[in-house]
Amino acid sequence: MNKKLLFPFLSIFGFDVLEVYNGEEGLKIALEQQPDFILSDIKMPVMDGIQMITKIRHSGDWGKAVHILMLTQVWWR
């Protein structure tokens, strides 16, 4: 499922959706906004999703408790 489908779907159900374009920006926004839930891709420019989530998890009580779902695109041949 791509973001063009996912973001409107989440919005319909009352979720506020914040979109970022790389892991570094994602980390900054997450630490500032402290959302209840983070949906992240593993592959992102500047800082990948694994690095971003590791930094969030080490950021304190909120980072240890926030719910996170990691996605990525898999290609089968």
Which residues lie across from 71 on neighbouring strands? 41
The per-residue pLDDT for 62 is 93
Across the chain, mean pLDDT equals: 86
Average pLDDT over residues 63-67: 94
pLDDT at residue 71 is higher than 90: no
The per-residue pLDDT for 2 is 61
Q: What global pTM score does this model have?
A: 0.79
Cβ proximity of 66 and 35 under 8 Å = yes
pLDDT per position as a tens digit, 4-37 = 777 788 888 888 888 888 999 999 999 999 998 9
The per-residue pLDDT for 25 is 95
In the numeric block, the tokens 């998890």 are attached to: 57
